[in-house]
Structure 1
Amino acid sequence: MAGLETRELECFLVLAEELHFGRTGERLYVSQGRVSQLLRSLERRIGARLVERTNRRVALTPLGERFRDSLQPAYAQLSAVVEQARAEARGVTGVLRLGFQGPADECVVSAIRTFESRFPSCTTELTELPLNDPFSALRRGEVDAAIVLLPVEEPDLLVAATFPAEQQHIAISAQHAFADRDEVSAEDLADLHLIAPASPAPTYWQDAQTPPRTPSGRPIPRASTVTTLQEAITRTAAGQGAMLLCGPTAQHHARRDIRFVPVTGLPPSTLGLTYPRAAETSQLRAFAATLAEA
């Protein structure tokens, strides 16, 4: 191990994956010449060729293949040890308690997995928040951060990251006259009775999820208020109203007695990561950065 450079090992592993000096250089932000230099240096240390290179192809030698298979888990373990030490130095340790509304979709779960792999000294705990109360758990200190539907206009809360915007869909009973449509317009909502989140959600937030009027100003009737998403889905299936949902949530709740029809003319639905401004930590900043990358 005397004098062994981790950069040489990293370069070899990337080259073993790409089998292309140009792409390897791009991934490592170095020139092709630097890739060749690092490879030659590693081969001199080992005393044998690891890679065969011709004008047409790049391939590992049999020794190179065995070296790759042995090196990959060892390098991954070494990287994890270094990353854990960095995380501890930055204070990204302990438990991060995350609240979320509705189903935690693939984007949320993927970000959590990436965060936990990047910061193995920090684990996450997930808590479902009531549909009608996106902020109280934050203020009571029951969760450290929450993934909620925007907008968030609370002076004490910071929106640290946002998810991709999603088209809104209307959830209606399969027996409804709109059920066979390919889409409905925002103006069509005046012919429905919308199920809305109940208090204590702020009025501006309720109106964003359940608009009181169409873009032209026609009133949109409200059927009832609910506290949970499952309650709203059940009432929709029973024909007791309709509800606006984003596309991923609609897909998650697909069932035979409900149709989810895209709505045109409405602002998209967006999730955001929010937490108290006065309680920002290294954990929260790291998780927000992970979400922004995702």
Structure 2
Amino acid sequence: MELRDIEIFLTLAEELHFGRTAERLHITPSRVSQAIKKQERGIGAPLFDRTSRVVRLTPLGEQLRDDLYAGYRQILKGIDAAKEAVHGTTGSLTLGTMGPMTLLIGDLLDLFQARHPRARLQHREIQPPSPLDLLRSGEVDVALLWLPVREPDLTVGPVLHTSSVLLMVGADHPYAGRDAVGLEDLGDCALVGGRSIPAYMEETLAPFRTPSGRPIRHDPKVSTWQEALTAVSSAQAAAGVAAEAARFYPWPSLAFVPIRDAPPCEWAFVWRTADDNPLIRALVQAAADLERGAESPAPNTAEHVQEHPV
């Protein structure tokens, strides 16, 4: 039985209508009928019961459908994989990142784009006070987030990067001149809080209690990174941040102080489990290969497409 005949049989087994099967496969109903008759002659028994009103699978037809389906899907998957190996994965992928984090994974994005020059990579900025919102709304396909992320409908990829945690304070804050502070010191200052963030994520950068159990006030609540910067620089509060913030936001009104006993902050790609797709898997694979030092082909500049953050 040829692959096309298998496709015709499985499609008819699903549609149970010669006309709809022909329409789906862009062939004539007579071609469908000929293929089925040929299969039945080869097997030696009917696969379908047909009348002028209805088409039904025979018990033998049901058995053949069940036996063929898994193998047929595996064949198609193999063909698609071979095509991707030659041409790269195509389509559009929207990546969400926070502020400067895109710059830290530039080599990874270059490797992904070199392997998949026909893929369209778009960027959206994720707001740290609301890190999951764009994933939830479907506005990004995959997001680079700090961990932990423990949502039942989200998949977390391997750790890509680790950051130390700093306390961002205003230039006139009492801690601004210190070489370092401890988590216990946070009980004496207010920290910027998020409006839409799981408490377990917020606690990574902004604990709710000191090691001795003193509460740490989270106020004011902000919705964007810009609001957090403004609140800190105007001395309304301090903020726990990943160390990269000190490199990319050297404002004269801000100071960044190491928190000596804060656990490091890990980063990973996160995506909706139900919306997993070849482009996401290709991005995660590129990250794994880059970690191992795998080489990549040079990018095809004629097909290299990348949008700027919006």
Per-residue Cα deviation, 1:4-62 (whole angstroms, up to 9, x for no partner)? xxxxxxxxxxxxxxxxxxxxxxxxxxxxxxxxxxxxxxxxxxxxxxxxxxxxxxxxxxx
TM-score (normalizing by structure 1): 0.67
1:214 aligned onto 2:249: no
Q: Is contact 2:88–2:118 with CA below 8 Å preserved after alignment? A: no
Show the counterpart of 1:240: 236
The alignment partner of 1:143 has SS state of coil
Deviating above 6 A after TM superposition, structure 1's stretches of 4 or more consecutive aligned residues are: none
Q: Is contact 1:90–1:282 with CA below 8 Å preserved after alignment? A: no
85-94 or 268-277: bigger deviation: 85-94
214-223 or 89-98: bigger deviation: 89-98
Q: Residues 9-158 of structure 1 correspond to what in structure 2 (within 5 A)?
A: 87=84, 92-158=89-155
Q: Measure, in 2, the Cα distance between the counterparts of 1:242 and 1:234.
A: 10
The alignment partner of 2:228 has SS state of helix
Per-residue Cα deviation, 1:129-174 (whole angstroms, up to 9, x for no partner)? 2222222322322211111121110011001132221110000111
Shift of residue 265 of structure 1?
1.1
Q: Residues 188-227 of structure 1 correspond to what in structure 2 (within 5 A)?
A: 188-199=185-196, 201-227=197-223
- Contiguous gaps of at least 5 residues in structure 2: 1-81, 292-310
Q: Residues 229-268 of structure 1 correspond to what in structure 2 (within 5 A)?
A: 229-268=225-264
Q: Measure, in 1, the Cα distance between the counterparts of 2:244 and 2:178.
A: 19
Shift of residue 192 of structure 1?
1.2
1:160 aligned onto 2:157: yes
Show the counterpart of 1:185: 182
Show the counterpart of 2:279: 283
Shift of residue 91 of structure 1?
6.4
Amino acid at match of 2:238: A
Q: Measure, in 2, the Cα distance between the counterparts of 1:250 and 1:273.
A: 22
Show the counterpart of 1:174: 171
The alignment partner of 1:264 has SS state of coil
TM-score (normalizing by structure 2): 0.63
Shift of residue 89 of structure 1?
5.6
Q: Is contact 1:111–1:290 with CA below 8 Å preserved after alignment? A: yes
Shift of residue 115 of structure 1?
0.9
Q: Is contact 1:197–1:226 with CA below 8 Å preserved after alignment? A: yes
Flag the 1:151–1:278 CA change in 2: closer, same or farther, 3 A: same
Give the RMSD, CA atoms, in angstroms: 2.0
1:271 aligned onto 2:267: yes
Shift of residue 108 of structure 1?
2.0
Shift of residue 128 of structure 1?
0.6
Question: Quick one: percent identity of the two aligned structures?
Answer: 33
Amino acid at match of 1:152: V
